[in-house]
Amino acid sequence: MNNTLGLISAFLGGAIVGAGAALLFAPEKGSELRTRIADILRKKGIICSDSDVDALVDKLTKDLQAEVCD
């Protein structure tokens, strides 16, 4: 059971990082991308400010860079 939970967690973590990478490497300007991310989060019921989205994008960027360098 614990192994299954770990496998599901790893899958979800990879899916989140992959989705972040897809968004970050999409051919859009940064401001348009941040607006799009905020809109998607709001549609999911997650209320966030522009600074929250900026922090999320910065975190995803750092996580992706760490993954690429490893």
Calculate the CA 2 to chain-centre distance.
Answer: 26
Taking only the tens place, the pLDDT of each residue in 27-64 is 667 778 788 878 888 888 888 888 888 888 888 888 87
Counted domains in the chain? 1
Residue 27 pLDDT: 67
Q: Give the global pTM.
A: 0.46
CA distance 51 to 57: 10
- Give me the domain span that covers residue 32: 2-69
Q: For 49, left (φ over 0), alpha (ψ -120 to 50), or beta?
A: beta
Residue 12 pLDDT: 75
Residue 1 pLDDT: 55
Taking only the tens place, the pLDDT of each residue in 12-26 is 778 888 877 777 776
Instruction: Using alpha carbons, select from 11, 43, 35 the residue that is nearest to residue 57.
Output: 35
